[in-house]
Amino acid sequence: MELDSLYQEVILDHYKHPLNKGLSAPYGAQVHHVNPSCGDEVTLNVTAEDGVIKSITWDGVGCSISQASVSIASDLLTNKSFAEADAILNEFTELMQSKGTKEGDPDVLDDAVALAGVSKFPARIKCALLGWMAFKDAAVRINTTVKGD
C-alpha cells in the first residue's frame, strides 16, 4: 500500500531507537525549532571543531517522521565539514520537494533515502524537514559566532 512508501522500516527503526537523542552538556550552538501547525518540537545541540561537525545531539517530541528524520540527520551529518553538510542538506531538501519523482542518492543521503516517500505526502514534508532546518540554523549560528571571535 501507498502508506508503506511513507513508513519504511528504516524510519520506524530510527523512531523506536533514535540515535544521538539526549542533549550533550557542552555545545557550540543550541537551537529549538517547532512546527507551529502540529506542535512537533526539536532542540538540537551542535559542536564543531576546525570547520568539522563533531557532534549533534537532540531532544524532541513529534511524529515518527519528524523524530526519525532528526535521528538520521544527526548521524549522517556528524564528522562532516559544514560545506559537506550543506551539500547533503540541499540534496535532502530537493528530495523532499520532488513529489515522489526522485529516489535520492544513497551514497550521499544514506538512511535518509528512506524518507523519499514523504515527498508524496505534502502535509508531512515539514515533519521530515524539522530537524534539518534546525541543523541549518545551528550551523549558521556556530559559524557566525566563530567569525565573530
Partner 1 sequence: MAFNVANLRKDFPIFERTIRDGKKLVYLDSGATSQKPLSVIEAESDFYKFHNAAVHRGAHQLAEEATDAYEGARLKVAKFLGAHEDEIVFTKGATESLNLIAYAMGNAMPGTRFALTSKDKIVVTEMEHHANLIPWQQLAARTGAQLSWFEVTPDGRLDLSNINSVITENTKVVALTHQSNVLGTIIPLKAIVARAHEVGAVVVLDACQSAPHMPIDVKELDVDFLVFSGHKALGPTGVGVLWSSELDDLPPFLYGGSMIETVTMTSATWAPAPRKFEAGVPNMAQAVGLGAAVDYLTNIGMSNVHEHEAVLTKYLIEKLLQVPDLKIVGPTDLASRGGTVSFTVGEIHPHDLGQYVDSQGVAVRTGHHCAWPLTRKLGVPATTRASLYLYNDESDCDALFDAILGAQKYFA
Half-sphere exposure of 129 (CA within 13 A, CB side): 20
Q: Which is nearer to partner 1, 128 or 142 (CB)?
A: 128
Q: Which of residues 65-84 bind partner 1 (CB under 8 A)?
A: 65
Question: Over the range 82-107, which residues count as b (16 or more CB within 10 Å of their CB) and which as e?
Answer: beebeebbebbbebbeeeeeeebeee
Decide: is 148 part of the binding site for partner 1 (CB under 8 A). Answer: no
CB of 100: closest distance to partner 1 in angstroms? 15
Decide: is 1 part of the binding site for partner 1 (CB under 8 A). Answer: yes
Helix (H) / strand (E) element for 134: namely helix 125-148
Mapping DSSP onto H, E and C, the string for 56-76 reads EEEEEECCHHHHHHHHHHHHH
Among 41, 59, 86, 110, binds partner 1 (CB under 8 A): 41
- Chain-centroid distance, C-alpha 95: 13
Decide: is 7 part of the binding site for partner 1 (CB under 8 A). Answer: yes
Decide: is 39 part of the binding site for partner 1 (CB under 8 A). Answer: yes
Decide: is 140 part of the binding site for partner 1 (CB under 8 A). Answer: no
Residues found near partner 1 in the complex (CB under 8 A): 1-3, 6-7, 12, 37-41, 61-65, 121, 124, 127
